[in-house]
A = this chain, B = another copy of it.
Amino acid sequence: MLYIVGLGLGDERDITIRGLEAVKSCKKVYMEAYTSLLSFGLSSDGLSRMEKLYGKTITVADREMVEEKADEILTEASKFDVAFLVVGDPFGATTHSDLVVRAKKLSVEVKVIYNASIMNAIGVCGLQLYRYGETVSIPFFTETWRPDSFYEKIQRNKELGLHTLCLLDIRVKEPSIESLCRGRKCFEPPRFMTINTAIEQLLEVEESLGVSAYGENSRCVGLARLGYEDQMIVAGSMKELLDVDFGAPLHCLVIVGHTHPVEEEMLEFYSIK
């Protein structure tokens, strides 16, 4: 049996009891590397706290390893119980469909243990989940690569009066240019897009495309570290949020659509006074 266990959005205590029982029953426990970067990149003892609570040794697997060793993991799972831990929900913002598809092809039984992900926890800011349109991703711009496919989607949501959740780029295990040149494996430190950078990029695209999908006065909500003790939620115009220091990652951003009175009341609490 392969258990794919969502860890939720905070630290090791955000696993469900059902998830914890599954992990404890497994002979081998893998954890997706994103998880480690998020939970341990931020606190160095994260992995050991997790191992202590779960009572298991955890093998951290980056995307490369999951792809390369998927068959090995699945062969194990055909013989005994294996857990694969995933930050958030197994089918949240990133998807693990690939692993599930491979497992099903090999007739390995899969059990998914749900948990919170950004896709539903975003509801905390008070904007109703069923009033969101298509979700967009904002990638880091480089000098030569400045994609703007999110623009059209935001514009469409706006026309329909819907809110837009913007997921902000995470870059982990990016080979450094230097290492590529030298033919050695060497990685850039992980980068997480801040709300400020996201807004700068959004405004740059608006300026070049100029169809007024939004502007510096557009209302937004910036959210940082959802699920952590120090989560931060601030509502304001793009211009106002540009000056807010949201602190450590992860950040995300909502562009507000048409609102109902209860939504307004909630936003009020988070507004820059």
Contact = CB atoms under 8 A, between A and B. Distances in A.
A113 to B, nearest CB: 8
A115 B116 contact: yes
Contacts of A101: 262, 265-266, 269
Interface in A1-51: 6, 8-10, 12-18, 20-21
A247 B40 CA distance: 43
Interface string A110-144: 00101111011101101011111111110000000
B130 A134 contact: yes
A180 B131 CA distance: 34
A15 B17 contact: yes
A135 B129 contact: yes
B114 A91 contact: no
Interface residues on A, range: 35 or more
B17 A14 contact: yes
Interface of A: 6, 8-10, 12-18, 20-21, 53, 89-93, 95, 97-98, 100-101, 104, 112, 114-117, 119-121, 123-124, 126, 128-137, 156, 160, 162, 167, 226-227, 262-263, 265-266, 269
18 contacts: A8-B16, A8-B114, A10-B114, A15-B16, A16-B16, A17-B53, A89-B116, A91-B124, A95-B123, A95-B128, A97-B262, A98-B262, A101-B262, A112-B124, A114-B226, A119-B120, A119-B130, A132-B134
